[in-house]
Structure 1
Amino acid sequence: MDSWVRFNAQSQAKEKVIRAAQYACTLLGYTLQKGGAAAQLHKIICQLEAHMSLTRKLLRLGNSVEALEAAKRAIHLSDSMLRLCLTIGHLNRAMYFACDNILWAGKTGLISNLDQHKWSQRSFRYYLFTLILNLTRDVYELNLLMECEARNRATKSPPSPYPSTALPADHQTYSSSPAALPTVGLPVISVWLRRQFHLLVTVLYSNPPLLLDLLKNSCDIFIPLDRLGIYPTGTGFVGACGLASSVLSILTIIHPWLKLKP
């Protein structure tokens, strides 16, 4: 089992490169179609994209085993939220790869009379749920880091000269006039939003793995949303999102420290 996981990890880089090329072809085909290019050229690009998709499915044979092993590791995490998101996410990823393997067998003729549309839709549903769980995990970790950063800033900031229970005189004046409350609340909300945005930027800047994972999952989620017809965005947008997420995935392979752990 361990030897298969190690062998499978070596093919991930090739799969990501082919994935980037596949979505580059998708984007190129959309651009050529909009630009009024020759139909024969557009057909060649579409055929090249289909061949790359089939090659990727071949390289992903057996990836369900790796996903199941990752689920077995995630179930022992101490954080309950991370344990839930990662374990269920890896199990859904295993089901996604299993459906993808069956779809590959149908496309190559190993399984005759396979309803490829049904299995493709089933595969994308598992993929979508996996990405939702991944994004939930990213937002959860981001929230934890923002709370930690806010506490660190609070301990470093000087104490306020006013008691927390006391209200300034102008606040008491405004509180007696209901019509003036919105004019007081809006600047307070604006200051709070600026502080939260600055906190968000600080946390993401100091945590590149989380930033890359959040961007990658945010790009990827538009692919199953479009394929399932939940939120159609068009071939060009799907191609751009797939290409961007593929490049980010390649970066995490070239620089392993950029991969979000666990």
Structure 2
Amino acid sequence: MAVLVVTRRAAQYACTLLGYTLQKGGAAAELRRTVSQLEAHMSLTRKLLRLGNSVEALEAAKRAIHLSDSVLRLCLTVSHLNRAMYFACDNVLWAGKTGLISKLDQQKWSQRSFRYYLFALILNLTRDVYELRLLMECEARYRATKAPPSPYPSTTLPNNSPTAALPVMSVRLRKQLHLFVTVLFSNPPLLLDLLKNSCDIFIPLDRLGIYPTGTGFVGACGLASSVLSILTMVHPWLKLKP
């Protein structure tokens, strides 16, 4: 079921991106309308397939609350709770679109669902950054134990020397950048999760009008994050745990 939902999501955002491309290319109105209808159909199908996701998110929150790490416990628990609320709003929207709930203010409920979605993504990114920081600190300590002592300690310039400030900062920056890249590429699950959440966050930011990026960019981000999600399903070891 999860794979089906994600593939529908990929198809929906592919239609979004295609519609934007057709509009920019001056394609026929009939073709653009067909793509738009297909996108709406994919969106409605996704909402139908996600009817039980609120319960799953609540169960995930119940599991996360028992994590030993306080930062992970807070981020994951609150993130799952927000996802549960997002899916609940999504279910209401589905009921409104199918006519089960008449006179539903769909714009209001859509904005509400995207607010929950945005907060969940912010917490997910916070978790990613936290785990990245822990791994970088661990890697830095490991390198420090392996690095040989400097044979010329007396040649070190004073900290307040203007001539030493820029080179030292440059070296430190290069080391941190190298450490950052090394840690990310040696931890594919964290890298993929960070990329996925970074792509996803532009969707609610655009929908809520906080940071409008346009239909084309939203479509590209949604498609990219969907492909990354499919990748973690095909190769479960790429999924970040817990």
TM, length-normalised to structure 1: 0.90
- Distance in 1, matches of 2:86 and 2:155, equals 57
2:198 to 202, 218, 228: 218
- Name the residue aligned to 2:136: 146
- Matching residue's letter, 2:223: L
- Name the residue aligned to 1:243: 223
Matched, 1:30 2:20: yes
Matched, 1:208 2:188: yes
- Name the residue aligned to 1:4: none
- What CA deviation, in whole Å up to 9, does each residue of 1:166-193 have, x standing for no partner? 674xx35x94xxxx62x42111111111
- Name the residue aligned to 2:50: 60
Specify every segment of 5 or more residues in structure 2 that has no aligned partner in the other structure, as ranges. none
- Distance in 2, matches of 1:156 and 1:69, equals 43
- Distance in 1, matches of 2:119 and 2:53, equals 17
Matched, 1:94 2:74: no
Correspondence 1:57-206 to 2 at 5 A = 57-161=47-151, 168=156, 171-172=157-158, 175=160, 181=162, 183-206=163-186
Specify every segment of 5 or more residues in structure 1 that has no aligned partner in the other structure, as ranges. 1-10
- Distance in 2, matches of 1:185 and 1:79, equals 38
- Name the residue aligned to 1:8: none
- What CA deviation, in whole Å up to 9, does each residue of 1:141-190 have, x standing for no partner? 00000000000000011123466xx674xx35x94xxxx62x42111111
- Distance in 1, matches of 2:193 and 2:222, equals 14
- Distance in 2, matches of 1:130 and 1:189, equals 36
The Cα RMSD (Å) is 1.3
- What CA deviation, in whole Å up to 9, does each residue of 1:22-47 have, x standing for no partner? 00000000000000000110000000
- Distance in 2, matches of 1:105 and 1:56, equals 13
- Matching residue's letter, 1:39: A
Report the count of equivalent residues. 242
- Name the residue aligned to 2:240: 260
- Name the residue aligned to 2:30: 40
TM, length-normalised to structure 2: 0.97
Matched, 1:229 2:209: yes
- Distance in 1, matches of 2:150 and 2:62, equals 49
- Matching residue's letter, 1:32: L
Instruction: Give identity over the alignment, percent.
Output: 82
- Distance in 1, matches of 2:151 and 2:20, equals 62
* Pair 160,184 (structure 1): closer, same or farther in 2 beyond 3 Å: closer
